[in-house]
Structure 1
Amino acid sequence: MALEDEQDANTLQWEVSVTLSSNQPVIGSEIFTTETKLVNSYHTIGSLPPPPHSFVYTWYRHSIPCSVHHHKLATVQCTSCDKLNASIEKSYHCSSKCFSDAWNKHKKYHHWAAHAARNNSTGNQQDVKKLRSSGSWPNLIDGSVLDENAIMVEEDNIWIKNTLNSNLKAQSSNDVVFSVLTYNILADSLSINALGYCPKWALAWEYRQENLLEEIIKYDADILCLQEVQCDHFENFFEPELKILGYSVMYKKKTGAGLFTAESEKSTNHGCATFYHSKLFKEIMKYELEFDKEASSVVNALEPKIRFKGSHRLTSKDNVALVVVLESLQNGSNRDAFQSRICVANTHIHWSKGHEDVTLFQVAHLVNGLEKIAQSQQIPLIICGDFNSRPGRYVFCYWQSGSH
């Protein structure tokens, strides 16, 4: 900061250096700087009041951390990143060896930055991929699910028993090799009450979003399944950032935001997002499952005396699942269609204390529908998501043995 005396022909200048003595990141923190506070700070330097003056100030980092070893200071910067207008935070390294060791991963940033620059310069943004018509969810209203021996009422719980067929055989996808990442990223609208042990600055979305993106990029997965993706963050951050990296995207938000919900609340609603590399896969069919709607048909099939209780427990939940059938494009050609296809499901299952029967119902309903999709096309199946279950609990046992 520099203070200049406007009355003296020989202008006097003072420079004041201010250090933030905190390990807390600047991102997510508020810094208030006003002329009054600066004048008061100046006044404490001498005995005379400050003369009429003007001031200028600039905030900057005195030391820059290495993008790989965050506890070390950077001494080397990649000049290519600067030329490509890439994120400079990723261009700093603590030593030449650090830069050399990280080169194979780091050079990917150059490709992404160049790709983004070409799109911006030509004005040819990636076309928004129009999703194919969503297929209807396989009908589960049949004797295998709703016979009188499959439903049990126990106090305040409604249990769906033995609904997992467990007859899917191991299937090959013609030696197609790919990687899958599933991640509940914690919606910002839920973070305040979710992690009471975590400092507020670490939960700030401005701080978390870049760390999340950096971690996701490092895994370099061919298929990404993210849960608790807030609507506005999907549209303004994840979708554009991951499209630049060559991902095709699809999104299904929870059904909690209704017609009379405020727009601000709709934007902070969250859901499931699935991304896949467009050079490796193309979309064949997409299914969207809303558990509350699917539960309505199940409740209607219950006996009248338990129908109200079943409706209260099963149809008031807004959880969803996003299912896509992908076809491999590896080796640059479409091989036998069914041998190169795979079904990928992404979901976030309900949980609340005393409602484990609802959690189990949603998982069982999802699996039964997925089995029908996989069997009808004879394709492998991958199920990703947050199932809100721990080892030894009903849902976990259901995955293991086909019953609870």
Structure 2
Amino acid sequence: MAAAPMAVPRRWLDRFTSLTLRTKLALVYTGVFALGGALLLAANYAMVSASLEMRGVELATTAVIPNGDPAETLVAPAPTVPAPTGEAAPVTGWEETEPLAVLVDDYQVGVLSDLLLNSVLILLGVTLLAALAGWVIAGGPLRRLHRVTDAARTLSEHDLHSRLDLHGPDDEFRELGDTFDGMLSRLERAFDSQRRFVSNASHELRTPLSVQRAALEVPLAQDRVPDDLRPAFRRALDSVARSEALISGLLLLARSDRGLARTEEVDLAEVVQGAVAQQAGAAEEEGVDLRLDVEPAPVDGDPVLLEHLVRNLVENAVRYNTADGWVEVRVRTAAGRTVLRVTNSGTEVRDAEELFEPFHRGDAARLHRDRPGSGLGLSIVRSISTAHGAKATARARPEGGLVVTVGFPEL
């Protein structure tokens, strides 16, 4: 029972802590102003009350002589009035001056009441103005803070070139904005260095791999390899092919991360039809039913990168599937926006969004397949989508498999 009185303060404290910073600052400004005004009102009321009381005492103890000359005395001269018995009974000066004291008291009460009422009304009005002023004043610097918050919320590795460039007084918010801009500059240099390294390293590795492929393919083509060494040569060629695929993926990822150098209007439906035709043979070998449902869908982008995007989606859907599974590729346009959706059956996926991370191949069921991928397929899909201003998302199907959606902006 002792904890019940704390419930109300705790509830109000929770409500206060859930308010925005601007509202809290405005309430604090208003509370401080109201408290100061209330103290000033109390002091003014006490001084006026004391002054009126002193003046009332002086007025109540002042008598006026009939000839008009004032005289300070405590009791006025006592006149005589007829008594009921016929004798003259003196009337004291206190009884004579009692009506004047009553008038003085009424006057004091009226003045203090008017002072209190008017002061309270004025204090309420000025407090409301102070609350409005506090709200406006708190919003000024907080707008600059909101710019930092919005930039941090929408920031990605693709727009590190943007800067806040906060203006205004040289205060803590300006320092925060300058610090944030400096951090963006350092991150931009680091990402650019990483992309250049990936691109250069991939280019440098393609030459020795091409030499290795030629050194393996020529003896096999000329039938100069002993039969007992042919399996080893085939395994070496497969390894070279996987390395070349990995390097090609890294080059494509680096290219899409740099953005689009030029764009043109591309019919996404035609791109999807071409990619599905290329994967028809692989789908037949895997026993996967490949379904196509498209309609004309013009988008603005790079046709080569869009082809890679669709091919990676369809290839992943066919590769990570089950026997007698299916893949459905759909393209729809609504309200000026084009949506590409690739849905496939398969095993249960527990980390759908994490598949967009580079070299993240998913759970053990996806890792220990006969033809495991490089782990860059969906990373390339998201990178190309971002370069085109699109958004790629993935979600797991409850029955197993994956649904990948790429929404392109309005043309």
Q: TM-score range by the shorter chain?
A: under 0.3
Relative to the length of structure 2, the TM-score reads 0.18
Larger Rg: 2
The structure that is strand-richer by fraction is 1
The structure that is helix-richer by fraction is 2
Relative to the length of structure 1, the TM-score reads 0.18
User: Which structure ranks higher in relative contact order (CA pairs < 8 Å, sequence separation ≥ 6)?
Assistant: 1
